[in-house]
């Protein structure tokens, strides 16, 4: 048993050295310089982020707009998305709503401090997709996907393996450790709180992308997630930033989807359906705050430019 206890001690020591509760940022440019995607471990703060006092609450100027990355969508909105607005992109699997997130991020690079929270793919995968479309990558990425695996899931898998080998939690508790470490402490990292703290430390001009909010809805009480996103939306509005959230359509009960839609100023839905022997892609402008006349349907394809509308049909 002594050798087994030694193995457990080494695992716990690794966990302790990794730390917990801190979201690590990586630079898209640094990722491109790595020879292997597995070497994504560099902490890089946004180069253009400056410390300073928060600006007073501004009055939204709907003529002060920023590009979404899709020119035809900009034309149908207000020639872009007004500064201070938040947008929800919902999509069915295969519709390309993940690509929408990257296209939206690309549109802000160079003019804004772009920060991309990735929950469904690694930072390397995000950069690889953007390079495929020849988009700039000099933005900041918070790789929650990898951090969740390394800081939470991997630990639980290691403990499960030890337990299958006959090692119990009591064995760990009996160990003579110089510092008491509880396994539950490592399982209780609140990525939602960390994201909100991280995002609300940004100074304008900034563009936030959370791809996707489904990760948080899966791991935390729905009411807490909605309340947190509303707080983030208020911060974005007060600072004149922009925010994009993505979510898989029809994954949550109706009241949760309605709450997500109500929390955002603009809602677009991406759908893919089979028509005969082909597929038809539709981007639906479902909501623009105070402007129901902006509702429309865009038929689009995926080209070397990303999501590319080909035909527009007004629905209001």
Q: Name all domains of the chain by residue range, CATH numbers in brackets.
A: 23-34+58-144+190-314 (3.40.50.300)
Cα(226)–Cα(135) distance, rounded to whole angstroms? 32
Q: Is 190 helix (H, G, I), strand (E, B) or coil?
A: coil
Question: pLDDT tens for residues 143-189?
Answer: 999 999 888 877 666 656 666 666 665 665 555 544 444 444 545 67
Residues of the chain with pLDDT under 70: 1-22, 32, 34-60, 155-188, 314-316
- Considering the entire predicted model, what is its pTM? 0.78
pLDDT on residue 170: 63
pLDDT on residue 271: 95
Tokens representing residue 294 in the block: 């902006």
Q: How many CB atoms lie within 10 A of CB 64?
A: 13
Query: Do residues 167 and 2 lie in contact, with contact meaning Cβ atoms separated by under 8 Å?
Result: no
Query: Do residues 108 and 242 lie in contact, with contact meaning Cβ atoms separated by under 8 Å?
Result: yes
Which residues lie across from 282 on neighbouring strands?
271, 299
pLDDT on residue 35: 38
pLDDT on residue 238: 95
Q: Is 266 helix (H, G, I), strand (E, B) or coil?
A: strand
Query: Do residues 265 and 87 lie in contact, with contact meaning Cβ atoms separated by under 8 Å?
Result: yes
Tokens representing residue 313 in the block: 């049909």
pLDDT on residue 39: 43
Cα(77)–Cα(266) distance, rounded to whole angstroms? 9
Alpha carbon of residue 245 to chain centroid: 7
Question: pLDDT tens for residues 299-315?
Answer: 999 999 999 999 887 66
Do you know the residue count of the chain? 316
**DSSP code of residue 277:** T
Which of 140, 88, 28, 73 shows the shortest CA–CA distance to 266? 88
């Amino acid at each position: 048993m002594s050798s087994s206890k030694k193995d457990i001690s080494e695992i716990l020591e690794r966990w302790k050295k990794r730390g917990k509760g801190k979201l690590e940022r990586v630079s898209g440019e640094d990722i491109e310089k790595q020879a292997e995607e597995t070497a994504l471990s560099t902490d890089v703060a946004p180069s253009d982020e400056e410390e300073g006092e928060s600006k007073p609450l501004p009055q939204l100027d709907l003529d002060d707009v920023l590009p979404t990355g899709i020119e035809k969508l900009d034309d149908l909105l207000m020639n872009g998305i007004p500064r201070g607005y938040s947008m929800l992109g919902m999509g069915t699997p295969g519709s390309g709503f993940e690509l929408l997130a990257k296209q939206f991020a690309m549109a802000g690079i160079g003019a804004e401090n772009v920060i991309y929270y990735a929950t469904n793919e690694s930072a390397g995968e995000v950069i690889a997709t953007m390079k495929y479309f020849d988009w700039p990558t000099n933005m900041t990425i918070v790789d929650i996907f990898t951090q969740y695996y390394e800081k939470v899931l991997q630990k639980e898998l290691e403990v499960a393996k030890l337990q299958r080998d006959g090692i119990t939690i009591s064995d760990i508790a009996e160990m003579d450790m110089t510092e008491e470490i509880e396994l539950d402490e490592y399982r209780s990292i609140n990525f939602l709180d960390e994201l909100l703290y991280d995002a609300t430390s940004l100074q304008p001009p900034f563009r936030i992308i959370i791809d996707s909010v489904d990760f948080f809805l899966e791991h935390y009480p729905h009411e807490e997630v909605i309340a947190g996103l509303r707080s983030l939306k208020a911060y974005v509005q007060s600072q004149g930033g922009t925010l994009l959230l993505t979510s898989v359509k029809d994954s949550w009960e109706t009241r949760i989807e309605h709450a997500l839609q109500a929390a955002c100023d603009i809602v677009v839905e991406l759908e893919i359906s089979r028509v005969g022997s082909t597929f038809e892609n539709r981007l639906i402008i479902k909501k623009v705050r105070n402007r129901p006349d902006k509702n429309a349907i865009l038929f689009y394809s995926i080209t070397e430019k990303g999501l590319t509308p080909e035909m527009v049909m007004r629905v209001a």
